[in-house]
Amino acid sequence: MPTMTIDDDCGRHNRFLRALRRQRVDTTPVWVMRQAGRYLPEYRATRQRAGSFMNLCRSPELACEVTLQPVERFELDAAILFSDILTIPDAMGLGLGFVEGEGPRFARPLRTLDAITRLAVPDPEMELRYVPDAVRLIRRELRGRVPLIGFAGSPWTLACYMVEGGPSEGFARIKKLMWDHPEALHHLLGVLTQAVRAYLEAQVRAGAQAIMLFDSWGGVLAPGDYREFSLANLCRLAQGIDRGPEQVPLIVFSRGANGHLEALSQSGADALGIDWTQDLGEARARTDGRVALQGNLDPAAMYASPASLRQQVDLVLRSYGDGPGHVFNLGHGITPDVDPEQMRVLVDAVHQLGRPRDTLA
């Protein structure tokens, strides 16, 4: 392989953005979903000080503090805004709370057609002002060290939580709505698509340098239902969001939707998140260079010995192969009881092993 000349602007401060645009980098960039979270003792201390998870989300100062914690501890190539995908339905009046050991719950889930028709799009600079305020503060405190990622839940995923009332195993309520009253679900998804678009545009205006859509429950749908109720709105967002004069890149992560990679790669997104059940090299072949790929180490590898973790990192990198367009990440979020030192092993391994093959020692 010929020697690769890397431009001077490929350092940590924009390695991630260059990879999303499928440009040359000095080494593979890495960040981790849920990197600001419970596995870090400093996060747990801040969370205790906040008093509740939602207090933490709604305080720009505390959200900034926990966003920066992993970037200050590890050589990560991006920071991600500390928030939650359910802030939009909370602003719509559903009453978001978190139950220890159970996760998010809504006090007023959508259980009638009338409740769906009454929903309105929240103003991100009013009801959700704490989020763009946090973005502005984080950008200032980062001082250009690494880019900041903003994010939102996909319309389908938000609808799942809003109708089910919280996490679900069978998604019976939302699927019943989908089959018995498809027009009502389309109305709900249309309102949510408008809300997500406005929310992400507010984050871009506030300074987010990349944005991400989490379609966490896309994979629970049959192929035809996925195309109609999830993919269609992902495409509308990818093609409709005003991403500012710099056209900040968009990552779409549709977990469990590996059967739709070809369609997702033509959605208008710049990059696709890939979960660990899909071979990265196969995903690259199927998407044919249309998008960058992000992923996709099995999160359970973080419990392996450092030597085994390093080996698993190498396997992911080799699966992607040479050439630009890869952002290393887990195939889902890091879990709370991981030893923080494993994150250091991961980041160091990616940066060492992710260099162009002809430069490896």
Look at residue 13 in the predicted model and tell me its pLDDT: 72
**Closest residue by Cα to residue 266 from 296, 229, 227, 322:** 227
- Cα torsion 164, 170, 176, 178: sign: positive
Q: Report yes or no: 103 and 173 within 8 Å, Cβ to Cβ.
A: no
Catalytic residue among 39, 43, 161, 320, which? 161
Residue 358: the pLDDT is 53
Q: Which two tokens stand for residue 82?
A: 């500390």
What is the separation of C-alpha 144 from the centre of its chain, rounded to a whole number of angstroms?
21
Mean pLDDT of 196-203: 98
- The pLDDT tens digits for 298-352 are 999 999 999 999 999 999 999 999 999 999 999 999 999 999 999 999 999 999 9
pLDDT at 121 over 60: yes
Distance CA 205, CA 261 (A): 30
Residue type, 35: Q
Output the six-digit token pair for 336: 């709370």
| Strand-strand pairing, 96-99 and 326-327 | unpaired
Residue 6 identity:
I
Work out the average pLDDT over 3-17. Answer: 63
Q: How far is CA 151 from CA 37, 156, 302, in A?
A: 16, 15, 24
Amino acid at 191: V
Annotated catalytic residue within 15, 18, 22, 34: 34
Domains by residue range for the chain, with CATH: 15-359 (3.20.20.210)
Q: In the predicted model, is pLDDT for residue 2 greater than 60?
A: no
pLDDT score, position 8: 46
Average pLDDT, rounded, for the chain:
94
Catalytic residue among 21, 24, 38, 145: 38
Contact 104, 96 (CB under 8 A): yes
Catalytic residue among 15, 18, 22, 47: 47
The residue from 21, 24, 44, 84 that is catalytic is 84
Average pLDDT on 165-190 reads 96
Whole-angstrom CA distances from 34 to 149, 303, 330 are 12, 16, 10
What's the pLDDT tens digit per position in 270-308? 999 999 999 999 999 999 999 999 999 999 999 999 999
Q: Has 38 been annotated as catalytic? A: yes
pLDDT of residue 352: 97
Q: Is the pLDDT of residue 101 over 80?
A: no
Quote the CA–CA distance of 287 and 130 in Å, as a whole number: 37
What is the C-alpha to C-alpha distance for residues 25 and 326, in angstroms, rounded to an integer?
A: 10
What's the CA gap between 166 and 86, in Å, rounded? 10
- Provide the pLDDT confidence category of residue 98 given band limits of 50, 70 and 90: confident
Dihedrals phi, psi of 249, to nearest 5 degrees = -70, 150
Q: Give 5's contacts (C-beta < 8 A, 6+ positions apart).
A: none
161 labelled catalytic: yes
Among 6-20, 36-50, 96-110, which stretch is predicted with the lowest mean pLDDT? Answer: 6-20
Q: Using CB atoms within 10 Å of the CB of residue 100, give its burial: 0 to 12 exposed, 13 to 18 middle, 19+ buried.
A: exposed
**Structure tokens belonging to residue 211:** 């944005």
Note whether 243 and 250 are within 8 A (CB). Answer: yes
Over the stretch 209-262, which tens digit does the pLDDT of each residue have?
A: 999 999 999 999 999 999 999 999 999 999 999 999 999 999 999 999 999 999
- Measured CA to CA, the distance from residue 120 to residue 190 in angstroms comes to 11
Those residues with Cβ within 8 angstroms of residue 169's Cβ, 6 or more apart along the chain or in another chain? none
Band (pLDDT 50/70/90 cuts) for residue 1 is very low
Instruction: Note if 34 is an active site residue.
Output: yes
- The answer to whether residue 7 is catalytic is no
| Interval 201-206 mean pLDDT | 98
Q: Is 6 or 222 the better-scoring residue by pLDDT?
A: 222
- Per-residue DSSP letters for 133-194? HHHHHHHHHHTTSS-EEEEEE-HHHHHHHHHHSS--SS-HHHHHHHHH-HHHHHHHHHHHHH
What tens digit of pLDDT does each residue of 15-67 get?
999 999 999 999 999 999 999 999 999 999 999 999 999 999 999 999 999 99
Angle at alpha carbon of residue 134, lines to 132 and 139, rounded to 5°: 95
Instruction: Give the count of beta carbons closer than 10 Å to the beta carbon of residue 341.
Output: 10
Q: Looking at residue 329, what is its pLDDT? A: 98
